Structure 1
């Protein structure tokens, strides 16, 4: 009885031979078409739907790859397999081959992330730990290579299985790329688009080696410890805020905290007093010229005015510009007759070169050698 059922089962598979795969899952990448003893009848029908590819493997060796369409399997469209098998048993004899249907559609929204934080070196903050996560999309663009190099003899290969390999690859290449980017740490979160594109370019050759195309790669977030976030935030504020106002703000906050922490009325007064002193000290440090005694009252002693800047003069000798020299040196040059009343003089603030005799503060030079008039009797 068992022998009869075995023969009946074998004959039914030989005479009704349509090879196709209707995918009712969302995660299957490769499905091996199951046949009785892997036998396929000559002139069997092969139906490959859109988004699929059929890969024929003979004894572990890639034989043929069929794109979407309907095929009659015979010696005309199986040249490689025909050569391998030899067709020793006639036109209608079945042959053995494994048929793998490969899902070539785009697999989207696949998750990746760093399981552990990795270290980066920053010029201002030293060694820092960051994490990252995001999504990626891929498709199988070389089904034959993928089946031979990745799937092997797995009869039902899902994206979960390939994702474990891809995630490790992504994290390794992502870490290398981020390290080589050498950006300031606060710019990683602000440049995720550019980093995503760069990472995709770096990773694509690795994916291509096993017949996979990395269609999209996204970095959704780059995170770091909260203490580092606060430090970066404070650092960015220092570049934007007025330092005097920042000091006053922090002093006010310190005064508020001191008042809260001290108990009772006397303690509150002491805390407020300490806050006022701190505010004054920080304000004086940030703006020394504006420092005043506590309470805003000015003392009797006033600070001297700043020393005036020394005026420097340029002069012309024989058509050549000379100087600059201070007032005293110019006076010596006039006394030595190196320059005279008609020599051209220029200083900062003058629009044009002017004769010495027409420069107000230099006119005393002209009368320096003339004695005063005799006194009258």
Structure 2
């Protein structure tokens, strides 16, 4: 059987060869035409279809390149090969050469992406990390250079193989480009079209060195960590907010939270007092030249009254229970009606412990001559 196949292959050389390649794949860039011992008969027919180029390699050297068309292979159509071989009288016997068919059509929708985050320096946020991905398209515009420099002796070279090389090149040049762009970090995602065009210009010479033309390069998305996104959004909001109104809003929220604390009425009273003080302090911080500013955002007019003082609230014990808070005047009425007396325990904000009414400086006025004597028995 092996002898029969050998005879059949040799007999096939007695007929005119037809060299062609029908591509039934979507990803083959270079296909080596297989011949028995790489022998091609004189006057063989070479058929190169649209979107193809045939590259002849003889003894490791580029011999000739044929574009789309039908050729008869002889000394007239192979002048370079003839020179390399040193044949003066044409081909009277088969010659040896390798024929590589190169797909020159456009390869589209090739994917690229950053395997590792790209670290950039931002004036406001310091060192930040971004990732990016997208697509690109290319074609082989110098088949001879591509076969010699990239393909070598690979008999079936696919776009997957070349993409591994191109992706590394793309990521390197993309990193250089975004680093030199020196944009605020939040603008990278908003300027993908401009960055794509710049990257195309930067990468095109690198592709051309191996016979490839970069037709299109697209950045589809630039992403960053969620924590950085939240920080950027918060920064952009603060940049547009009225800080006086923001301080007043926060003061109101603080009052609401204090009122909900445990302690019932006590918490509500203290929360209101603290809230008003906080609102006034933050208003002064936001408007240092305007003097004190009451809660509500309106500064007092010239000659107008100052803000109302916050009344001190007192808690008192009666019948073994805690009562209050009540203002000074109400506490005085309770003393006059003998609901409380000089030994009753009272407390106000700022005191560490409950103390007798007679020991509170501002309440000693209750103990004057207006205090009635005890009822007769």
Distance change in 2, residues 1:37/1:88 (3 Å) = farther
> Is 1:172 aligned to 2:172, yes or no?
yes
Equivalent in the alignment of 1:361: none
RMSD (Å), alpha carbons: 3.3
Q: Distance in 1 between matches of 2:268 and 2:17?
A: 94
Q: Distance in 1 between matches of 2:152 and 2:71?
A: 25
Deviation, 1:2, is 3.3
Equivalent in the alignment of 2:108: 108
Moved more, 173-182 or 99-108: 173-182
Question: Counterparts in 2 of 1:4-43, with a 5 A limit?
Answer: 4-43=4-43
Conserved in 2, the CA contact under 8 Å of 1:18 and 1:46?
Answer: yes
Instruction: Structure 1: give runs of 5+ residues left out of the alignment.
Output: 306-377
Instruction: Structure 2: give runs of 5+ residues left out of the alignment.
Output: 307-377
Q: Distance in 2 between matches of 1:66 and 1:258?
A: 86
SS in 1 for 2:222: strand
Q: Distance in 2 between matches of 1:155 and 1:179?
A: 40
Q: Distance in 2 between matches of 1:298 and 1:92?
A: 108
Conserved in 1, the CA contact under 8 Å of 2:258 and 2:267?
Answer: no
Equivalent in the alignment of 2:200: 200
Equivalent in the alignment of 1:242: 242
Deviation, 1:227, is 1.7
Deviation, 1:304, is 10
1:205-256 CA distance string (max 9 Å, x none): 1111000011111111111112222222222223323222333455566667
Q: Structure 1 length normalisation: TM-score?
A: 0.71
Deviation, 1:57, is 0.3
Conserved in 1, the CA contact under 8 Å of 2:57 and 2:98?
Answer: yes
> Is 1:148 aligned to 2:129, yes or no?
no
Conserved in 2, the CA contact under 8 Å of 1:14 and 1:40?
Answer: no
Conserved in 1, the CA contact under 8 Å of 2:49 and 2:68?
Answer: yes
Deviation, 1:3, is 2.9
SS in 2 for 1:133: strand
Equivalent in the alignment of 2:80: 80
Q: Distance in 1 between matches of 2:101 and 2:299?
A: 91
Distance change in 2, residues 1:74/1:184 (3 Å) = same
Q: Structure 2 length normalisation: TM-score?
A: 0.71
Deviation, 1:19, is 0.7
Distance change in 2, residues 1:172/1:67 (3 Å) = same
For this pair of structures, how many residues does the alignment match? 304
Conserved in 1, the CA contact under 8 Å of 2:46 and 2:73?
Answer: yes
Q: Distance in 2 between matches of 1:247 and 1:296?
A: 10
Deviation, 1:36, is 1.0
Equivalent in the alignment of 1:47: 47
